[in-house]
Each structure stands twice: as structure tokens, then as C-alpha cells.
Structure 1
Amino acid sequence: MPNLLQRLIPRRWRKKTPLVHVVRLQGAIGVGTPFKPPLTMEGLAETLERAFARKGVSAVALIVNSPGGAAVQSALIHARIRALSEEKKIPVFTFCEDVAASGGYWLACAGDEIYADSSSIVGSIGVIAAGFGFVEAIKKLGVERRVHTAGESKSILDPFQPEKPEDVERLKSLQRDVHEDFKALVRSRRNGKLRGDEAELFSGAFWSGRQALALGLIDGIGHMRDVLRARFGEKTEFRLIAKPQGWGLRRLGFGSTLDPVSGLIDAMEIRALWGRFGL
């Protein structure tokens, strides 16, 4: 009861207690469905601003649970968190839940320190592109594929046409560029902490939290409340900062153009992202 009464008193009238703002980064990055919105810079902008806006905040805690997704959205979100942290002089702590892999680890690196459960899945510092080929399927169905382009590379990697070696090499060249950016970011954010051979660290492999600690990908095994109360004191308060959610038509997916086929493909892509890590 005393704790409840204390919370009812405005903070400016209370004895100063440490306050940590908590932001959840949950889900696939850049790809989603009407019922599972993706993590994007647009969707998180307001939440991040609010998390760093208040004076006297001791820290911002990021809870990351993401299998990855779009590289550009990962970079944008990461960059905004770092910019706000440096501007407001507020430290950031990351706590990995089930998985912080690929783009999810990119987000985790926005923290000045990274923690995980011993069973969390961490890493997957690589770039992947996956799809399907339907060339033989449409032949069996008697379907003729007609494609007309202005620009010889406009139909690159069309899933209904045979794969061309030069198209694959072009894609791999793009992937190498993105991978180099990812590696540079990890080297910078984990400067002096990485252990082990870079060929292994940046192979796209992923590890348990305990293994990630041995490799220097995280700073410790621990959970948010335990770690931050040990850091700032037992009376530390935590406040979840989240985008307000309504129960109107927009939440139910009405009022937007819903393409059932695109929605199914997006759902399959999200399932595949999580499925890589056994989740």
C-alpha cells in the first residue's frame, strides 16, 4: 500500500528515485501484417521521442525480441536511438528476450550495454535473401509468362522465369555491401569487446546468450529489473513507453487496402524469419 500511495504523488513532490523508460522492440523489422505491425522508423518515431524527452530519466531500456528483417529500417531505428541518447545524455541498455538476431541484433547494438538470458538467441550477423521459383509450376499449369520491360535488368530475379547467374551475382554484390555496413556497425559498437575469429562472428551464425557472452557480443547474462536495480538502486522505477493503441477500425485492419495474397506472403515471410531460430 505505501508503494501505491507513493506512485499517486507527482514525482516532483516525491523524494527523487531513479526512473527508467522502457521501449519494447518486438517483431519483424520492416515486414508485417495488419494484426502484426512491423518495426519501422515511422512507427517508432513518436515512442522514441517520448522515451528520451523527460528530464531526470536515469536510462532508457530497450527490450528486443526480433528475428530481423529490413536492413534499412534496422539502420534507421538504430541511428535514431543513438542520436537521441547522445543528444539527451541518457544511457541506453538493451535486454534481449527470445531472439535478437540479424536486424534484431542491429537494434540491440543501439544499447551502450547489451544483456540477454542464457537461453536467448543472439547474433546472425549476415544478410539473406530468400524466395521461390515457380518456373516448372506454371509450365505444368499451362500458363505463359509475359514480361515486357524498358531496361534489361528490370525483371531481375523474377520468380516465374529461370534464374540467371548474372542476376544472382548482382544480388550477392548488394548483399556484400549491406554485410560490410553491418560488420562495421558491430565493430564500432562492440569496440574492444569482441572475441573470436571475425570469420565466425560475421558468418551469419547465431548463438545462445551464454555463448554470445563468451564471444563478446553481449555484456552480461541478466534481466532488466535485476540489472538496472543493481545499477541505479532497489527503488528504481520502470515506465513502459508505447504508442497509444485504439480499438477502432484501423486496429481491426478496416479502412486500409488489404490484399489477401500479399498478406499471406508477408505472414509466410514473418513465419520464416522466426522459424530460422526454432520459434
Structure 2
Amino acid sequence: MDDYTTGNPPPEAPPPTAAPVTAASAPAGWERATFERLMFATLAEQRAARRWKTIRSLAWLAFFAILLWTLTHRSTPSADKTAAHTAVVEIKGEIASGADASAESVVAAMRSAMEDSGAQGIVLLINSPGGSPVQAGIINDEIKRLKAKYKKPVYAVVEESCASAAYYIAAATDRIFVDKASIVGSIGVLMDGFGFTGLMEKLGVERRLLTAGENKGFLDPFSPQTDKQREFAQQMLNQVHKQFIDAVKAGRGKRLKETPELFSGLFWTGQQAVDLGLADQLGNLDFVAREVVKAEELVDYTRRDNVAERLAKKFGAAMGEGAVRALRALPAVH
């Protein structure tokens, strides 16, 4: 019997199923639209990459411009250099080429101080165990030349130590002031090294050193040293030592109380140095500025590497080390 005639509702029809999407059923031109979207995305990515590349390039350009400017413009004293003041030049640490206390840096600072009309006198503030006799000799000569040219006094004020090459420099100043516990002197010259020939013989190690010139390798620690070579080296040391002694005598003159040990390489306290004539009196920087130079205002002329210069030196050292490593990594040619 038919359901419609009995009044029963007809059964619900099943929901229609979605037809699968196929290339045939997709709207026309979908490939073109998809391709265009991909192309636009790629172009946007390329533009962003170029933009960041340009920003990075400009940032590096600005960095190197600032670096170049800071390398060529050292900081200058902020005080009024035309007003009466005491100029200070620090000599600290090892005296050596390329160091903070190199002849180049110290002489340039002294020259700047001498040229300023307000500088009534120059104080070399010394705290150094010594270093290169060549660098010290250059500074010694320049102190005498600058004093004669500008007619300004130069004083040395010793903090903890003024030994060896540092005293070589101080001897050229007009007066030397020390603390009673300062270490002063060590007027001598040395050449040091090590010899491993005996140890090598015990270990059965043979040194194979080839030279052109019989004395080319006489400072080689793995080769024996002859009496002739030792005598030659001693003559060199004696000559440099005499140059040191002559500079001290010329600078200190009759103030020196010469004893057999004065030029032996020994060092003394500040009080002993005053008694021996190696120094003039006890006094610190403020005392010298106030009582001797008569200009209490202190202006520091010391040349110091700024941040950019320190970074440049480290960068240069890193580059050099990288180059050496690269060369070592190259295959050897046999």
C-alpha cells in the first residue's frame, strides 16, 4: 500500500554529496591566478631581501665612516689650553714600539703640550719597569730638543717604578720627583734567552739548522754558543750600557753621587735615589703642579687609543691570524 495514501510522511532524502573538485570542475583560469600569486610572492620576497641588503650595506658604510673619523681625530684635552696649566704626559707600562709608552706616542704628546701657550711646564708621570733602549733613547733626545726649542721645563714624577729604560727617559728631565717607596734605577742592559742543547743531547734530538753565514744562528736556543759569539754579544751590551750611563751623567750632572754599584743594574727606593742623586726630592704630581710649576690646573696630553682604534687593532690582529691559518692550511708542494 502506498505510504502517501496512508498519511505517513515520506522518508527523508539523503543529503547530497559534494562532487569532487577536479581540473574540469575548477573555474576557468585558475592556473593563471595561482601562477600570478606565486610570482607576486617571489617578487615581494626579492624586494625585501634587496631592502635588507641595502640597509646592511649602509650600516657598514656608516660604521667604517665613523671608524675612519675616530682614527683620524684623537681626543684632545677638554680644558681651556690657553689658560695656565700643568701639562701631564703618562709613561706607563712597557716602553716599546707599538705600546702605549712608545716613542711615537710620548713625543707627539710632549710636542702638543709644548705648542700650547697655556702649558707652563710638562710633567712626565712615570710608572714603568723599562723596555726598549732605542725607544727610550729617542724620547731622551726629544726631551732635550723640545726644551731647547720651546724654553719650557720638563719634570719627571715617579709613581711605583722608574727603572731601566724608564729612568733613561727621566734622566733628560730638569728634575725628578719620587715617592719614598718608589723603585728607581736599574741602570743596566740585558739580553736573555734559553739554551736546550744539553737536554737535546740527553733526549737524542738532533738540531738541523742551515744558515748562510757562520754566526747567523748564534742566538738560536737549540744551538750551542761559542766563546766568540758570547764575546761579541757582550761587546754590544757594553756599548748600549755606556750609552745609558752617558745619558744619565749628562742629565744628572754633579747631582750624582757615584758609587761602584750605581751603574751595576741595582735599583733603590725613592728615598735612597734622592740620597744617591738619582732623584731630586720627594713629591707627587699635585705637589709639582702646585709648588714647582705654579699651575695647579692639570691637563692630560697622553695619547690613548680610543674604542675604535682598539677595535681596529684587534680586527687587524684577527685578520693576520686568520691569514696565517689559511696559509698553513694550504697543501704543501713537494
- Fold conserved (TM > 0.5)? yes
Residue from 177, 188, 191 that aligns with 2:253:
191
> Quick one: structure 1 residues 161 and 204, their matched pair in 2 at CA, closer, same or farther if it must change by over 3 Å?
same
Identity in percent = 36
Match of residue 214 from structure 1: 275
TM-score normalised by the chain length of structure 1: 0.79
SS at match of 2:315: coil
The structure that is helix-richer by fraction is 2
- Find out whether 1:97 has 2:159 as its counterpart: yes
Provide, for residues 98-145 of structure 1, a one-character-per-residue CA deviation record: whole Å limited to 9, x for no partner: 110110110111210001000000011111111111224445666432
Write the distance in 1 (CA, Å) between the matches of 2:204 and 2:315.
37
What is the number of residues matched between the two proteins?
Answer: 243
Asked if the contact 1:109–1:189 (Cα under 8 Å) also holds between the matched residues in 2, the reply is yes
Query: Per-residue deviation at 1:209?
Result: 0.2
Match of residue 267 from structure 1: none
Residue from 177, 184, 189 that aligns with 1:122:
184
Query: Per-residue deviation at 1:27?
Result: 1.0
Residue from 229, 232, 241 that aligns with 1:179:
241
Which has more radius of gyration?
Answer: 2
- What RMSD over aligned residues (CA atoms) do the two structures have, in Å? 2.4
Asked if the contact 1:157–1:168 (Cα under 8 Å) also holds between the matched residues in 2, the reply is no
Write the distance in 2 (CA, Å) between the matches of 1:9 and 1:161.
58
Match of residue 237 from structure 1: 297
Q: How does 1:1-279 map to 2 (within 5 A)?
A: 18-30=84-96, 37=99, 39-139=101-201, 143-197=205-259, 199-233=260-294, 236-248=296-308, 250-251=310-311, 253-256=314-317, 257-258=320-321
Write the distance in 2 (CA, Å) between the matches of 1:227 and 1:250.
33
Provide, for residues 46-97 of structure 1, a one-character-per-residue CA deviation record: whole Å limited to 9, x for no partner: 3222121111311000011111111111100111122112111110010011
TM-score normalised by the chain length of structure 2: 0.67
SS at match of 1:148: coil
SS at match of 1:243: coil
Write the distance in 2 (CA, Å) between the matches of 1:104 and 1:183.
13
> Quick one: structure 1 residues 248 and 139, their matched pair in 2 at CA, closer, same or farther if it must change by over 3 Å?
farther
Moved runs in structure 1, 4+ residues, more than 4 A? 8-12, 137-143
SS at match of 1:255: helix
SS at match of 1:166: helix
Write the distance in 2 (CA, Å) between the matches of 1:69 and 1:180.
17
Higher relative contact order (CA 8 A, sep 6+): 1
Provide, for residues 194-215 of structure 1, a one-character-per-residue CA deviation record: whole Å limited to 9, x for no partner: 1142x21111110000000000
Asked if the contact 1:18–1:232 (Cα under 8 Å) also holds between the matched residues in 2, the reply is no
Asked if the contact 2:81–2:116 (Cα under 8 Å) also holds between the matched residues in 1, the reply is no
Write the distance in 2 (CA, Å) between the matches of 1:186 and 1:244.
28
Provide, for residues 215-246 of structure 1, a one-character-per-residue CA deviation record: whole Å limited to 9, x for no partner: 0000001101113301244x621100122422
SS at match of 1:105: helix
> Quick one: structure 1 residues 169 and 78, their matched pair in 2 at CA, closer, same or farther if it must change by over 3 Å?
same
Report the AA paired with residue 85 of structure 2.
Answer: L
Is there any run of 5+ residues in structure 2 with no aligned partner, and where? 1-77, 323-334
Is there any run of 5+ residues in structure 1 with no aligned partner, and where? 1-7, 260-279
Match of residue 271 from structure 1: none
